[in-house]
Amino acid sequence: MTFQLAIVLYPGMTVLDAIGPYEVLRTLPDSELRFVSNEVGPVVSDSGVLALGATHTFAETPAPDLVLVGGSEASTTEAMANKELIEWLRAVHPGTQWTTSVCSGALILAAADILRGHPATTHWAAQPALAAFGAESRPHDRIVRSGKIVTAAGVSAGIDLGLWLVGEIAGEEYAQLTQLGIEYDPHPPFDTGHPDKASPELLRKARLDMTKRAANPRIPLDVATAVWRLTLHRIRDRAAARR
Protein backbone atom coordinates (compact mmCIF):
# COMPACT_ATOMS: atom_id res chain seq x y z
CA MET A 1 0.00 0.00 0.00
CA THR A 2 1.30 3.46 -0.92
CA PHE A 3 2.18 5.77 1.96
CA GLN A 4 0.78 9.22 1.12
CA LEU A 5 2.51 12.36 2.38
CA ALA A 6 0.80 15.76 2.18
CA ILE A 7 2.87 18.91 2.64
CA VAL A 8 0.66 21.98 3.09
CA LEU A 9 1.30 25.11 1.05
CA TYR A 10 -0.26 28.53 1.60
CA PRO A 11 0.60 32.07 0.43
CA GLY A 12 3.44 33.70 2.34
CA MET A 13 4.84 30.52 3.85
CA THR A 14 8.56 29.99 4.49
CA VAL A 15 9.95 27.74 1.75
CA LEU A 16 12.54 25.86 3.82
CA ASP A 17 9.81 24.72 6.22
CA ALA A 18 8.43 22.61 3.36
CA ILE A 19 11.49 21.94 1.20
CA GLY A 20 13.77 20.82 4.04
CA PRO A 21 11.49 17.93 5.02
CA TYR A 22 10.59 17.31 1.37
CA GLU A 23 14.20 16.60 0.40
CA VAL A 24 14.38 13.98 3.13
CA LEU A 25 10.92 12.43 2.89
CA ARG A 26 10.76 12.20 -0.91
CA THR A 27 13.07 9.16 -0.89
CA LEU A 28 10.74 7.03 1.23
CA PRO A 29 9.94 3.75 -0.56
CA ASP A 30 6.39 3.02 -1.69
CA SER A 31 5.31 6.58 -1.06
CA GLU A 32 3.43 9.34 -2.85
CA LEU A 33 4.22 12.94 -1.99
CA ARG A 34 1.78 15.78 -2.58
CA PHE A 35 1.97 19.52 -2.11
CA VAL A 36 -1.58 20.45 -1.09
CA SER A 37 -3.38 23.78 -0.95
CA ASN A 38 -6.76 25.40 -1.55
CA GLU A 39 -6.21 25.07 -5.28
CA VAL A 40 -3.66 23.60 -7.67
CA GLY A 41 -1.04 26.01 -8.95
CA PRO A 42 1.80 28.28 -7.85
CA VAL A 43 1.91 29.45 -4.24
CA VAL A 44 4.12 32.47 -3.63
CA SER A 45 6.34 32.27 -0.56
CA ASP A 46 7.13 34.93 2.05
CA SER A 47 9.96 36.32 -0.08
CA GLY A 48 7.45 37.39 -2.72
CA VAL A 49 9.84 35.98 -5.33
CA LEU A 50 10.00 32.20 -4.94
CA ALA A 51 6.92 30.07 -5.58
CA LEU A 52 6.14 26.42 -4.94
CA GLY A 53 3.60 24.41 -6.88
CA ALA A 54 0.56 22.84 -5.25
CA THR A 55 -0.03 19.51 -6.98
CA HIS A 56 -3.36 18.69 -5.31
CA THR A 57 -6.19 20.43 -3.51
CA PHE A 58 -7.28 19.67 0.02
CA ALA A 59 -10.47 18.12 -1.36
CA GLU A 60 -8.41 15.77 -3.56
CA THR A 61 -6.45 14.58 -0.51
CA PRO A 62 -8.98 13.26 2.00
CA ALA A 63 -6.87 10.56 3.66
CA PRO A 64 -3.12 11.30 3.83
CA ASP A 65 -0.92 9.11 5.99
CA LEU A 66 1.35 12.00 6.93
CA VAL A 67 0.55 15.71 7.08
CA LEU A 68 3.21 18.39 7.41
CA VAL A 69 2.44 22.07 7.98
CA GLY A 70 5.17 24.71 7.77
CA GLY A 71 5.22 28.22 9.15
CA SER A 72 5.73 31.80 8.02
CA GLU A 73 7.07 35.12 9.26
CA ALA A 74 3.99 37.12 8.36
CA SER A 75 1.27 34.79 7.05
CA THR A 76 0.81 32.18 9.78
CA THR A 77 -2.23 33.97 11.16
CA GLU A 78 -3.82 34.16 7.70
CA ALA A 79 -3.38 30.40 7.39
CA MET A 80 -4.89 30.00 10.87
CA ALA A 81 -7.94 31.87 9.57
CA ASN A 82 -8.09 29.82 6.34
CA LYS A 83 -11.36 27.96 6.90
CA GLU A 84 -10.77 25.33 4.21
CA LEU A 85 -7.28 24.50 5.51
CA ILE A 86 -8.35 24.31 9.15
CA GLU A 87 -11.39 22.16 8.44
CA TRP A 88 -9.27 19.87 6.26
CA LEU A 89 -6.75 19.43 9.08
CA ARG A 90 -9.54 18.63 11.53
CA ALA A 91 -11.02 16.11 9.08
CA VAL A 92 -7.83 14.25 8.14
CA HIS A 93 -6.03 14.24 11.49
CA PRO A 94 -7.99 11.32 13.00
CA GLY A 95 -6.89 9.10 10.09
CA THR A 96 -3.24 10.09 9.79
CA GLN A 97 -0.33 8.05 11.01
CA TRP A 98 1.62 11.26 11.62
CA THR A 99 0.45 14.87 11.94
CA THR A 100 3.46 17.19 11.98
CA SER A 101 4.60 20.80 11.82
CA VAL A 102 7.68 22.92 11.38
CA CYS A 103 8.21 26.34 12.92
CA SER A 104 5.02 28.36 13.40
CA GLY A 105 3.11 25.68 11.52
CA ALA A 106 2.41 24.41 15.04
CA LEU A 107 0.08 27.36 15.52
CA ILE A 108 -1.89 26.27 12.45
CA LEU A 109 -2.29 22.81 13.96
CA ALA A 110 -3.30 24.53 17.19
CA ALA A 111 -5.94 26.56 15.36
CA ALA A 112 -7.42 23.25 14.20
CA ASP A 113 -7.58 22.17 17.87
CA ILE A 114 -5.03 19.42 17.28
CA LEU A 115 -2.51 20.48 19.93
CA ARG A 116 -4.84 21.01 22.88
CA GLY A 117 -3.45 19.08 25.85
CA HIS A 118 -0.24 18.13 24.01
CA PRO A 119 3.36 19.26 24.51
CA ALA A 120 4.67 21.00 21.42
CA THR A 121 7.41 23.22 20.08
CA THR A 122 7.60 25.93 17.44
CA HIS A 123 9.87 28.83 16.50
CA TRP A 124 11.25 30.44 19.66
CA ALA A 125 9.44 33.71 18.92
CA ALA A 126 6.08 31.94 18.66
CA GLN A 127 6.36 29.79 21.80
CA PRO A 128 4.12 32.01 24.00
CA ALA A 129 1.21 31.65 21.56
CA LEU A 130 0.98 27.89 22.09
CA ALA A 131 -0.56 28.28 25.53
CA ALA A 132 -3.48 30.28 24.13
CA PHE A 133 -4.56 27.14 22.27
CA GLY A 134 -4.14 24.77 25.19
CA ALA A 135 -0.75 23.34 24.21
CA GLU A 136 2.25 22.92 26.50
CA SER A 137 5.22 24.89 25.17
CA ARG A 138 8.57 23.08 25.00
CA PRO A 139 10.91 25.96 24.04
CA HIS A 140 14.15 24.03 24.57
CA ASP A 141 13.25 21.00 22.45
CA ARG A 142 14.00 20.80 18.73
CA ILE A 143 11.51 17.99 18.10
CA VAL A 144 8.57 17.10 20.35
CA ARG A 145 6.51 13.94 19.91
CA SER A 146 3.15 13.43 21.54
CA GLY A 147 1.62 10.24 20.19
CA LYS A 148 1.33 10.68 16.43
CA ILE A 149 1.70 14.46 16.67
CA VAL A 150 5.25 15.69 16.07
CA THR A 151 6.25 19.36 16.11
CA ALA A 152 9.62 20.84 15.20
CA ALA A 153 11.26 24.13 16.14
CA GLY A 154 12.09 26.93 13.71
CA VAL A 155 12.74 26.57 9.96
CA SER A 156 15.95 24.50 9.80
CA ALA A 157 14.52 21.99 12.30
CA GLY A 158 12.38 20.70 9.46
CA ILE A 159 15.36 18.72 8.14
CA ASP A 160 15.79 17.10 11.55
CA LEU A 161 12.07 16.35 11.63
CA GLY A 162 12.23 14.75 8.19
CA LEU A 163 15.09 12.47 9.22
CA TRP A 164 13.35 11.56 12.48
CA LEU A 165 10.20 10.62 10.56
CA VAL A 166 12.16 8.55 8.04
CA GLY A 167 13.69 6.67 10.96
CA GLU A 168 10.26 5.93 12.38
CA ILE A 169 8.70 4.97 9.04
CA ALA A 170 11.53 3.16 7.24
CA GLY A 171 13.97 2.35 10.02
CA GLU A 172 17.09 3.88 11.52
CA GLU A 173 19.50 2.56 8.88
CA TYR A 174 17.41 4.00 6.04
CA ALA A 175 17.34 7.36 7.85
CA GLN A 176 21.12 7.23 8.25
CA LEU A 177 21.53 6.45 4.54
CA THR A 178 19.27 9.39 3.74
CA GLN A 179 21.28 11.70 5.97
CA LEU A 180 24.49 10.56 4.33
CA GLY A 181 22.97 10.95 0.87
CA ILE A 182 22.14 14.62 1.44
CA GLU A 183 25.38 15.12 3.42
CA TYR A 184 23.54 16.64 6.33
CA ASP A 185 26.49 17.29 8.63
CA PRO A 186 25.98 20.83 9.94
CA HIS A 187 28.95 22.80 11.18
CA PRO A 188 27.55 26.34 11.47
CA PRO A 189 30.09 29.18 11.45
CA PHE A 190 28.32 30.77 14.43
CA ASP A 191 26.77 29.29 17.56
CA THR A 192 23.71 31.53 17.91
CA GLY A 193 20.99 29.23 16.58
CA HIS A 194 18.82 29.34 19.73
CA PRO A 195 17.93 32.17 22.15
CA ASP A 196 19.81 30.31 24.89
CA LYS A 197 23.00 30.80 22.89
CA ALA A 198 22.51 34.40 21.76
CA SER A 199 23.55 37.51 23.63
CA PRO A 200 20.76 39.71 25.02
CA GLU A 201 21.60 42.43 22.49
CA LEU A 202 21.54 40.02 19.55
CA LEU A 203 18.24 38.60 20.75
CA ARG A 204 16.78 42.10 21.05
CA LYS A 205 17.84 42.93 17.49
CA ALA A 206 16.43 39.65 16.19
CA ARG A 207 13.07 40.29 17.83
CA LEU A 208 12.95 43.82 16.43
CA ASP A 209 13.88 42.63 12.94
CA MET A 210 11.24 39.89 12.94
CA THR A 211 8.61 42.30 14.25
CA LYS A 212 9.31 44.68 11.36
CA ARG A 213 9.22 41.94 8.73
CA ALA A 214 6.06 40.41 10.16
CA ALA A 215 4.17 43.70 10.36
CA ASN A 216 0.70 42.93 9.07
CA PRO A 217 -2.43 44.91 9.99
CA ARG A 218 -4.54 41.76 9.51
CA ILE A 219 -2.83 39.78 12.28
CA PRO A 220 -5.19 40.77 15.15
CA LEU A 221 -8.23 40.02 12.97
CA ASP A 222 -6.82 36.70 11.75
CA VAL A 223 -5.96 35.56 15.28
CA ALA A 224 -9.40 36.54 16.51
CA THR A 225 -11.00 34.64 13.61
CA ALA A 226 -8.95 31.52 14.38
CA VAL A 227 -9.80 31.59 18.09
CA TRP A 228 -13.48 32.29 17.44
CA ARG A 229 -13.74 29.43 14.92
CA LEU A 230 -11.94 27.09 17.31
CA THR A 231 -14.34 28.00 20.13
CA LEU A 232 -17.35 27.31 17.92
CA HIS A 233 -15.92 23.92 16.91
CA ARG A 234 -15.47 22.99 20.58
CA ILE A 235 -19.08 23.97 21.33
CA ARG A 236 -20.31 21.88 18.38
CA ASP A 237 -18.17 18.91 19.42
CA ARG A 238 -19.51 18.99 22.97
CA ALA A 239 -23.08 19.21 21.69
CA ALA A 240 -22.50 16.27 19.34
CA ALA A 241 -21.01 14.18 22.16
CA ARG A 242 -24.19 14.65 24.28
CA ARG A 243 -26.49 13.33 21.55
Of 36, 79, 80, 103, which one is the catalytic site residue? 103
E strands, 161-241, in order: none
CA distances (Å), origin 130, targets 27, 44, 117, 138, 215: 32, 26, 11, 9, 20
Q: Report the relative pairing of strands 98-102 and 66-69 from DSSP bridges.
A: parallel
d(CA 42, CA 51): 6
Q: Are the beta carbons of 36 and 56 closer than 8 angstroms?
A: yes
- The Cα 223–Cα 136 span in angstroms is 19
Closest CA to 154 of 126, 184, 189: 126
Helix 219-242 and helix 83-92, axial crossing angle in degrees, nearest 10: 40
Contact 17, 158 (CB under 8 A): yes
CA distance linking residue 13 with residue 73, whole number of Å: 7
Q: Is 103 a catalytic residue?
A: yes
Q: Where are the alpha helices (DSSP H) in 5-148?
A: 15-25, 76-80, 83-92, 105-111, 127-130
Give the catalytic positions in this structure. 103
